[in-house]
Amino acid sequence: MKKLKNIIILLTILLVIIIIAAVIIFNTRGNAQEDGENAENATNTQSSENVGFSVVSDYKTYYTIKEILNNYLVYVKQINGDSYVDIVKAGISLEDAKTQSERQGTEAIKNILDTQYISDLAIENNMIIEKQKEYSQNGNFQATVSYDLNLVNVLTYDISSNIKIAFVTANLNNKPFNLLIKIDYTNNTYSIFLEDFLEKYNYNENMSYDAININSGNIEVNDYNTFLDVSATEEYITKQYFSEYREKMTQHTEDAYNLLNQEYRDAKFGSYENFLQYVNDNKLNIETASIQGYKVNAIDGKKEYICIDQYGKYYIFTETNITNYDVVLDTYTIDLPDFLEEYNSSNDAEKAGLNSQKIVDAINDGDYTYVYNKLDATFRQNNFATEADFETYVKNTFYTSNNVEFSNYQNSGDLYIFDAKFTDKNNANSQAITKTFIVKLGEGTNFTMSFNVE
């Protein structure tokens, strides 16, 4: 009995020792893990604090960088034969034109390459030519080609109060196009470091500021390396978006399609092929379009730039940040924020008027599908068996570009009735065409309509 009691005491002591040891091990591991996490957090914090480049945050810098890139691409095109040369007027052969253009482009690029870059990589003329050939398009000097430059990211770092470095990642003609730009705001000059320099010194978006080893000296002025002081007003930015997107529509149509607001793109076109057809049908107007009016709205932390051209066509750019925007090309296919704000604060008669204006805008845009789908089902069945029938009727009845005045509003139950007087935008003396619009409001912003047919 005494022996059994001693065994129990011994087992109890052993169990206590095991528990104490387990607690010590757990605490040690916990402290080690916590120390490790603290060390990792400290490393991450230090790494984050040491990052040199940050996303460009002001319009002036962004558009200065775009101007510099466009200047550089002029010289690239000269080397690649993608810049027009009138060999007849110049009285030279095509081979001489190639030699002269290559020489001029090479001389220009040598004068915008940074002196640090040139000395570090021992750059020679043939190397400059070879580096640009990767982006060549036609190469026959018969036309100035529009290069497809898509900026992926633009980051900057201030070396000093007047010297800034821009790290640009982009695609040029569907090939990677990455470089550094040094900007001297004292002399309004710039210089460039090409991609081989970035690769040699492992330049990347997350590198620490102490790894950025660019000379902070000023850049001397020469015949090629100056830039204009960009004002970056709302008018300037609006014109930049407008010009850039019109060029993409005609020269790089797939890029233009991808820039469309996705909801709008799916509702309006449904496929790239339909968008391409739209561009081809309107190509002359797109190429000759100019801004007749614009306004800028601030909505939900975004900026909305609304342009209208001389043909009454809309270009609406919604900017998420300086380097990112999407596009809508009319005011009726989807409900835009400013329309919704106005619509929701209107009475029912005013809502009927706003929806009627959508119909007029769609007719002016040649969007017969939109209008056909808004027709009252019974009215449509009785008058226009097919969309083609409706399109024929509209083309034979209304003008290509219509001004409309609404008047004589009446209300009959849930129907809103008023006169719509159509005149030709392009002819002040045109004969007026009056139709009686009947609008029925639905849920949200939905509606159906009909009108008198003679």
Write the pLDDT tens digit of every residue in 211-247.
999 999 999 999 999 998 888 999 999 999 999 999 9
**Which pLDDT band holds residue 402 (cuts at 50, 70, 90)?**
very high
Lowest mean pLDDT among 44-53, 163-172, 222-231, 258-267: 44-53
* C-alpha closest to that of 352 among 450, 434, 422: 450
What pLDDT was estimated at residue 15? 53
Is-contact 372 384, C-beta < 8 A? yes
What pLDDT was estimated at residue 384? 97
* C-alpha closest to that of 199 among 284, 261, 131: 131
What pLDDT was estimated at residue 296? 95
E strand or H helix that includes residue 295: strand 291-299
Percent with pLDDT over 70 in the chain: 89
Is-contact 154 168, C-beta < 8 A? yes
What pLDDT was estimated at residue 89? 82
Q: How far is CA 282 from the centre of its chain?
A: 21
pLDDT at residue 23 above 80?
no
Region 346-451: CATH code: 3.10.450.100
Q: How far apart are CA 388 and CA 395, in angstroms?
A: 11
Could you read off the pLDDT of 266-302 as tens digits, one per residue? 999 999 999 999 999 999 999 999 999 999 999 888 9
Mean pLDDT along residues 364-371: 95
What pLDDT was estimated at residue 300? 84
Alpha helices of 51-93 — where are they, by DSSP H? Answer: 59-80, 87-90
Percent with pLDDT over 90 in the chain: 76
Orientation of helix 94-112 relative to helix 125-133, angle to 10°: 100
pLDDT at residue 408 above 80?
yes
Q: How far apart are CA 369 and CA 359, in angstroms?
A: 11
Q: How far apart are CA 334 and CA 327, in angstroms?
A: 12
Q: How far apart are CA 70 and CA 78, in angstroms?
A: 13
Q: Domain segments of the chain: what residues?
A: 1-50, 54-211, 234-336, 346-451
CB neighbourhood size of 273 (10 A): 10
* C-alpha closest to that of 394 among 416, 374, 414: 374
What pLDDT was estimated at residue 44? 43
CB neighbourhood size of 253 (10 A): 16
**Which pLDDT band holds residue 86 (cuts at 50, 70, 90)?**
confident
What pLDDT was estimated at residue 88? 77
| Residue bearing the bigger pLDDT, 140 or 6 | 140
pLDDT at residue 3 above 80?
no
Is-contact 187 138, C-beta < 8 A? no
pLDDT at residue 167 above 50?
yes
Is-contact 304 319, C-beta < 8 A? yes
pLDDT at residue 305 above 70?
yes
Nearest 10 degrees: CA dihedral of 300, 306, 312, 315? Answer: -90
Q: How far apart are CA 343 and CA 350, in angstroms?
A: 8
Q: How far is CA 312 from the centre of its chain?
A: 22
Residues 6+ apart with CB under 8 A from 237: 59, 63, 305
Mean pLDDT along residues 387-400: 96
Residues 6+ apart with CB under 8 A from 341: none
Give the predicted TM-score (pTM) of the model: 0.82
**Which pLDDT band holds residue 12 (cuts at 50, 70, 90)?**
low
CB neighbourhood size of 313 (10 A): 18
**Which pLDDT band holds residue 14 (cuts at 50, 70, 90)?**
low
Maximal CA-CA distance, the chain: 126
What pLDDT was estimated at residue 48? 55
pLDDT, the chain, mean = 89
Q: How far apart are CA 278 and CA 230, in angstroms?
A: 34
Amino acid found at 68: I
Q: How far apart are CA 450 and CA 452, in angstroms?
A: 7
